Amino acid sequence: MALLELENLVTRFELHRRGFNVVDGVSLAVEAGETVGLVGESGSGKSLTLRSIVHALPPAAAVKDGRIVYDGREFTRPTRRLLRELRGHEIAMIFQDPVSALNPVMTIGAQLTETLRQTGGIRRERERLRRAIELLRLVGVPEPDRRLRAYPHELSGGMAQRVVIALALVGEPRLLLADEPTSALDVTVQAQILQLLVDLQRRLSMSVLLVSHDLGVVAQTCKRVYVMYAGEIVEEAPVATLFSGPRHPYTVGLLSSIPSLEHARPTERLPAIPGSPPDLGALPVGCRFHPRCPLAVAECRAAPVALREIAPGHRAACLRHDEVSRASVVFSPSAGGTVEHA
């Protein structure tokens, strides 16, 4: 049995008498000790999928259908007691912007010790301070005793992200939900944080569900990956399989947009998927990707396309999956200007 299972999860927004599903029939699983990626463009529903798992949704949103099962326990409509038991203890979350995730008027030490008191159950102040220093040292913060006296604005982005990870580890969770943990960081610091997450996952035997719009990040860290578009999962595969043989045109578009220094030419433009993701309140009939897809045919516009298994461990929601390859699906270069390669 998987540590986490989502079965046909539906999360719905109700705004100004207008409702639409931001997560629409999503099914995924994370095994114990496994790192799984969830990728897609901004607005595809990735972050709201993570927030649905821990029921940390905006007031206008709610889980409407499907099931969330954690370690064999139903977690779809949890009681307050169950939420307190699992949040922070069994399941922890890292948010996108590390500085915004920290309280700007509290020192790092105050935030860690208060979290240790509430989530870690450590009552003695001296023990909380000792454990806070251990956690900062675990995530690679230099001079941790001095950092306890610092405020969030005094930290670099990478250091703030390390503190956020330390806060997530207070309850020694079995499942870590990481929502774009490197998106606000420069490339060098991003690599350090990714390596830190990999090391922590192995050392602590955690499961990790990593949300990203960057397939390069997923390739470095994950075993399996789900590709999400307009609230739905459109492809699922082991990472190596997805990169070598994608079977959905949207996945090909994401892979094609990754810059390559090896094959770069001066003033070359990167390929881009045309158009924009659909309005979730006015979705196209049929496959949701068909207005942007170079392989779309009449059947793609007729009815929704179900996610189906095309090989062991590999599923895709495409009628023409057997014709899809990185060579057969061609997207034009971006019209937004050239990309200069060093």
Per-residue confidence in pLDDT tens, the chain, 342 aa: 799 999 999 999 998 878 999 999 999 999 999 999 999 998 899 999 999 999 999 999 999 999 999 999 999 999 999 998 899 889 999 987 888 889 999 999 999 999 998 877 788 899 999 999 999 999 999 999 999 999 999 999 899 999 999 999 998 899 999 998 887 778 788 888 888 899 999 999 999 999 988 888 899 899 999 999 999 999 999 999 999 999 999 999 999 877 765 655 666 677 788 889 999 989 999 999 999 999 999 999 999 999 999 999 999 999 999 999 877 787 877 544 333 332
Domain 4-229 has CATH 3.40.50.300: yes
Q: Given this model, what pLDDT does residue 265 score? A: 64
What local confidence, expressed as pLDDT, does residue 340 receive? 32
According to DSSP, the residues that pair with 11 across neighbouring strands are 23, 63
Reference 9, options 60, 84, 79, 70; nearest CA is 70
Distance (Å, whole) CA 336 – CA 130:
52
Closest CA to 328 of 255, 220, 278, 231: 255
Distance CA 272, CA 50 (A): 27
- Cα–Cα dist 252/292, whole Å: 12
Cα–Cα separations (whole angstroms), residue 294 to 31, 95, 265, 316, 330: 35, 35, 25, 17, 7
Residue 119 pLDDT: 79
pLDDT of residue 261: 58
Q: 112 vs 36, 100, 250, 262, CA distance in Å?
A: 28, 16, 41, 44
Nearest Cα to Cα of residue 178 among 63, 37, 30: 37
Q: Hey, is 101 helix, strand or coil? A: helix
Give domain limits for the chain: 4-229, 245-323
Q: Which residues of 4-39 are buried (b: 16+ CB within 10 A; e: fewer)?
A: bbbeebbbbbeeeeeeebbbbbbbbbbeeebbbbbb
| Amino acid at position 301, single letter | R
| CA pair distance 241, 314, nearest whole angstrom | 8
pLDDT on residue 266: 62
State which amino acid sits at residue 37: G
Find the radius of gyration of the CA atoms of the chain: 21
> Position of tokens 């972050």?
47
> Which amino acid would we find at residue 293?
C
* pLDDT of the residue at 334: 58
DSSP string, 166-198: HHHTTT--SEEEEESTTTTS-HHHHHHHHHHHH
Output the pLDDT for position 264.
56
- Residue pair 230/289 in contact by the 8 Å Cβ criterion: yes
